[in-house]
């Protein structure tokens, strides 16, 4: 039986928070894409979820987050550790990418800018929770055979 410095309920709570956080992110991405199309920022829904997305993450990032959260919430450390690490990095990259793809300099209304800030903040929050999950996994000792 593995020993852990984090009680099992705390580890489950972090995993549930991480799963919920990514779920909120994915919902925000879809809502942001609808907002972008309705405001004329992007001509189609798929464009609003592509490289020129301003109020959502691109589809590949959304797929990666869904796959990584599934791995990060697993009980197997060999899967959960790299998935949690990559999910933490993805959240930071979502923030940094706006400086390079023109997302933070795009012409947006005040409401759209607030939504963009909320979305980026949610990405950073998920990154922090993924880092906490990673720290908990690294502190836990693997079971001896």
**Structure confidence by residue, pLDDT tens digits, 101-135:** 777 888 899 999 999 999 999 999 999 999 999 99
**Is 0.75 topped by the overall pTM?**
yes
Residue ranges of domains in the chain: 8-139
Q: CB under 8 Å to 120, separation ≥6 — which residues?
A: 94, 95, 98
3-state secondary structure the chain: CCCCCCCHHHHHHHHHHHHHHHHHHHHHHHHHHHHHHHCCCCCCHHHHCCCCCCCCCCHHHHHHHHHHHHHHCCCCHHHHHHHHHHHHHHHHHHHHHHHHCCCCCCCCCHHHHHHHHHHHHHHHHHHHHHHHHHHHHHHCCCCCC
Q: For residue 132, which of 15, 9, 5, 22 has the smallest C-alpha distance?
A: 15
Alpha carbon distance, N-terminus to C-terminus of the chain: 9
For 45-99, what is each residue's pLDDT tens digit? 999 999 888 899 999 999 999 999 999 999 899 999 999 999 999 999 999 988 8
């Amino acid at each position: 039986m593995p020993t852990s410095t984090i009680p099992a309920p705390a580890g489950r709570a972090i995993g549930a928070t991480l799963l919920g956080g990514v779920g909120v992110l994915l919902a925000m991405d879809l809502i942001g894409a609808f907002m972008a199309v309705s405001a004329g920022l992007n001509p189609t829904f798929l464009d609003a979820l592509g490289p020129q997305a301003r109020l959502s993450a691109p589809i590949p990032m959304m797929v990666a987050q869904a796959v990584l959260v599934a791995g990060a919430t697993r009980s197997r450390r060999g899967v959960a550790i790299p998935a949690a690490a990559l999910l933490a990095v993805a959240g930071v990259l979502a923030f940094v990418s706006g400086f390079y793809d023109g997302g933070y300099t795009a012409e947006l209304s005040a409401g759209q800018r607030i939504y963009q800030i909320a979305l980026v903040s949610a990405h950073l929050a998920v990154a922090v929770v993924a880092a906490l999950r990673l720290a908990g996994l690294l502190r836990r000792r693997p079971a001896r055979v």
